[in-house]
Chain A
Amino acid sequence: MMARFRQNCWFEPALIALIIIIIGLVLPSTYYFRIATLVLIAGLSATGLNLLLGYAGQISLGHAGFVGIGAYAVAVLPAKFAVPSLLAVFCGTLVSGIVALIIGRPILRLKDHFLAVATLAFGILIAMVLNNEQWLTGGPDGMAVPRVELFGIRIRSAQSWYWICGGVLVLAVVLARNLLDSSTGRALRALHDSEVAARSAGIDVARIKSIVFVISAVFASLSGSLYALFNGHVTPDIASFLNSIEIVTMVVLGGMGSLSGGLVGAVILVVLPQALSFFHEYEHLLLGLLMILILVFMRAGIVPTLAARWARGRT
C-alpha cells in the first residue's frame, strides 16, 4: 500500500510541503530563517535545472544568466520605470522564457561539450551586460531592490519570505511532477536514454528540448526574482559562472533525475559553507573533499543512491 502511495504524483510535493512546514515551525531565529529561505530559493533553480539536466540529459552551464535576468528585472523595472514589483517578477520570467525560446532552438542542436560551451557563453554574456551597463544596473557594485508590497503590507522579514518561497517551491515541484508524469515527461526520459531512438519513435526532439529549456529558464528567473526581493540588493555576481556551476553541482550532488535530489543538493551547498565557516582557512578544502567523497561513493547522487539502498533493504 505504501508503495502504491509513493507512486502517486502528489506524494513528493506533499512530503516536501510537510518538511517545509515543520522546519518553518521549529526554526529559532531570523538567521536560520534566512539560511532556510536561501535553500528554498536555490532549490527552485535546482528543480528547474534538474528537469533539463537530470531528465532531458541536456547540460546548461549558463543558468545563472536566467537567475540574473529575474533578479535584475525586479531591481531595474520598479526603480527606473515604476513598474510594480509583482509585475516585474512576471516580466522577468516572460523575458527569460522568450530568451530561452529564441536561443534554445539553435543551441540545443549542439551536443555534449558544444552545448556546454554555448550555454556557458550565454551566462557570461548576461553577467557582462549586468557589469557594464552601469546607467541601468549600477555596475559591479550592484543596486538596491525596492521592497515588495502585498495588500499594502511591506514584506521584509525573513520569516514571511520563508513562507512565500516555500509556497512557490511546492508549487514548482507540483508543476514539475505533473510535467514528468505527462506524455512530455515520458518523451523527456526517452530523449535522455537515446536521442535517435526517441526520434524514430516519433518524438519531436527539438520541440521537447525547447519546452524543457524554457521551463527551466522560467524557474531560474523566478528564483532570481525571489532572491533579489528577499535580499533587497543585487550584484552581478548572481549571474556569474560560479553561480551557474553551483546550480549544476546541486543537481549532480543531490541526484540527477530526482526532484527531491535537487533540493537535497541545495540544502548541502547552502548550509555546509555556513557550518564550515569556523574552519575559515580549510572551508573550501573540506567542501571540495566532501563533494568528491559523495561523487565517488554515491555516483548517482545522494537521493537516488539512498532510495535504491532503502528499496534493496526492504526486499
Chain B
Amino acid sequence: MTLHKSLAIAAGLLLGATSLFGGAQAQDIKVGAVLSVTGPGAFLGDPADKTLRMYVDEINAKGGVKGRKLQLVIYDDGGDAGKARTFATRLVEEDKIVAMVGGSSTGTTMAMVPIFEEAQIPFISLGGAVVIIEPVKKFVFKTPHTDRMACEKIFTDLKQRNLTRIALISGTDGFGKSMRDQCAAVNAKYGVEILAEETYGPRDTDMTPQLTNLKAKAGVQAVINPGFGQGPAIVTRNFRQLGFAVPLYQSHGVASKQYIDLAGDAANGVRLPAAALLVADKLAASDPQKAVASAYATKFQTITKEPVSTFGGHAFDGLMILVGAMERGGFDPKAIRDEIEKTKGLIGTAGVFNMSASDHMGLDLSAFKMLEIRNGDWALAE
C-alpha cells in the first residue's frame, strides 16, 4: 500500500514537473528546437542538438544577443511527425518562443509548418527537400542545400567530363525517392539522358542484381546513387565487385566519414556534392568559407570528440542566421522574420546565404563543392 502511495506521488511529481520547469526568467529570449535526437533520424538530430547547445552557451557567455541571454528549449520528436507537431504547438503556446531552428527531416518539418505559419513565428528548418521552401511560405526558411541542387551539381560535373548518358540506382527511403524525382525533373535542362533506373530497399544487403542490369545496358557513361544510410556503401562495394568501369556519383546524403569506413577501398574514386565543411582544412586560404567552416569543425570535434558532419553544420547556419536577424531587428517574431529574409552575404558552413522574398534558402550551386574520395579521405575534385 505504501509503495502504491509513493508510486502515485512519484507520478504526480512527474506530471507537475511540466509546470515547475516551465517557468523561466522573463528576460531570456526563448529559441525553440524540435529535433530527431533519437530514433532512425538520430544521425541528423544528434549533431544538431549538440551544435545548438554548444553555440547558445558560447553566445550567452559572450553576453548574449543585444544584452539579452538566449534560452534554448529543445524537444526530441524521435523522428515521429505527429510528436513533432505536438512539440511545435507546445513551443508556440506554452514556451512562447520567438523563433525556431529545427525540424530534422522533411517529414517532421512539413508536419510543423502550419503551426508556425498560423502563429506567425519564424521557423528555420534543417530538412532537405525542396518542398519546404517551394512554394515560398512566409515564415518558413531552411539552411541545407536542396536535393535538386545536388542533382544539378552532379549534372554540371558530368557535362564538364562530357558524360551525358547515365543510369540511376536510388534508395526507396524518403531521401532517395525525393532526390531521384528531382534528378528526373532537371536532367533535360543539362542535356543529360537517363537510360536506365533501378531501386533498392533501405534494408537490402545486396544490390548486385540491380547493378548487373545497369551494367548490361549499352551506352551508360556514369551511375548516380541517390540515397543515404548504409545502402550507398553496399552499392559502392557491389559496383566495384562487378568491375563496373564508369564513374560512380553519390549524393550529399552520404557526406560523413561513416560512408568511407563502410565502403572501404571501393569508395576511392567516388564523387559526390557536399558542403565545404567536410574539407574545411583543404580549402584554399582565399575561400570565404574557410575560416567559418574550420572554426566550426574544430569546435565541434574538440567538444564532442566525434567527427564533424554537415547535419550539425546546418543547425549552426540556422542559429547564426537567426542571431544576425535578432541583432538587426530585435525580438519581435515578425521583425525577426523580416530580417531573416534580408540576410545577405552570411557565410555559413553550407555556403554563402543570400535570402530574398522568393528564396527562403539563399544558397546557390557554388555552395556545393564536388568532392572525390581519394585514399579513404575527402578531396576537392575541382
Contact = CB atoms under 8 A, between A and B. Distances in A.
A91 to B, nearest CB: 22
Contact of A233 (B75, B76, B81, B86): B81
Interface string A125-169: 000000110100001111010000000000000100000000000
Given A237-B81, A275-B18, A286-B14, 5 more contacts: A132-B172, A141-B107, A235-B107, A277-B75, A297-B7
B82 A238 contact: yes
Interface of A: 29-31, 34-35, 38, 131-132, 134, 139-142, 144, 158, 227, 231-235, 237-238, 271-280, 283-284, 286, 290, 293-294, 297-298
A231 to B, nearest CB: 6
A142 B21 contact: no
A234 B174 CA distance: 14
Contacts of A279: 17
A277 B107 contact: no
B172 A31 contact: no
A283 B39 CA distance: 13
Contacts of B163: none
25 contacts: A29-B94, A139-B174, A139-B178, A140-B177, A141-B105, A141-B106, A141-B107, A142-B107, A142-B111, A144-B110, A158-B89, A227-B82, A233-B85, A235-B111, A237-B79, A237-B80, A237-B82, A238-B82, A273-B83, A275-B18, A276-B17, A277-B76, A293-B7, A297-B7, A298-B4
B14 A31 contact: no
Interface string B159-187: 00000000000001110011000000000
Interface in B25-48: 37-38
Contact of A275 (B15, B74, B76): B15
Interface string B240-276: 0000000000000000000000000000000000000
A131 B82 CA distance: 16
Nearest to B127: A141
Nearest to B128: A141
B76 A142 contact: no
A233 B111 contact: yes
Contacts of A298: 4
Contacts of B106: 141
Contacts of B94: 29, 31
B64 interface: no
A141 B32 CA distance: 22
A234 B81 CA distance: 8
Contacts of A286: 14
Contacts of A272: 14
Contact of A141 (B3, B83, B86, B110): B110
Contacts of A276: 14, 17
A35 B86 contact: yes
Nearest to A294: B7
Nearest to B118: A156
B18 A278 contact: yes
Which 3 A-B pairs give the minimum distances between C-beta atoms?
Answer: A140-B174, A31-B93, A235-B81
A29 B93 CA distance: 7
Contacts of A140: 107, 173-174, 177
Nearest to B129: A141
A142 B110 contact: yes
A141 B174 contact: yes
B174 A271 contact: no
A286 B75 CA distance: 16
A29 B95 CA distance: 12
Given A132-B172, A140-B173, A140-B174, A271 B111 contact: no
B177 A134 contact: yes
Nearest to B111: A233
B17 A275 contact: yes
Given A134-B177, A139-B174, A274 B114 contact: no
Contacts of B114: 232-233
B93 A30 contact: yes
B357 interface: no
A140 B21 CA distance: 35
A276 B87 CA distance: 12
A286 B13 CA distance: 13
B82 A274 contact: no
Contacts of A31: 89-90, 92-94
A271 B16 CA distance: 12
Contacts of A274: 18, 86, 90
A76 B128 CA distance: 24
- The listed residue with most B CB atoms (<10 A of its CB), out of A31, A35, A234, is A31
B136 interface: no
A9 to B, nearest CB: 30
A78 to B, nearest CB: 17
Nearest to A268: B11
Nearest to B108: A235
Nearest to B7: A293
A247 B38 CA distance: 21
B373 to A, nearest CB: 28
A259 to B, nearest CB: 22
Nearest to B87: A277
Given A31-B89, A34-B89, A278 B21 contact: yes
A30 B85 CA distance: 12
A31 B81 CA distance: 16
Contacts of A158: 89
Contacts of A38: 82, 86
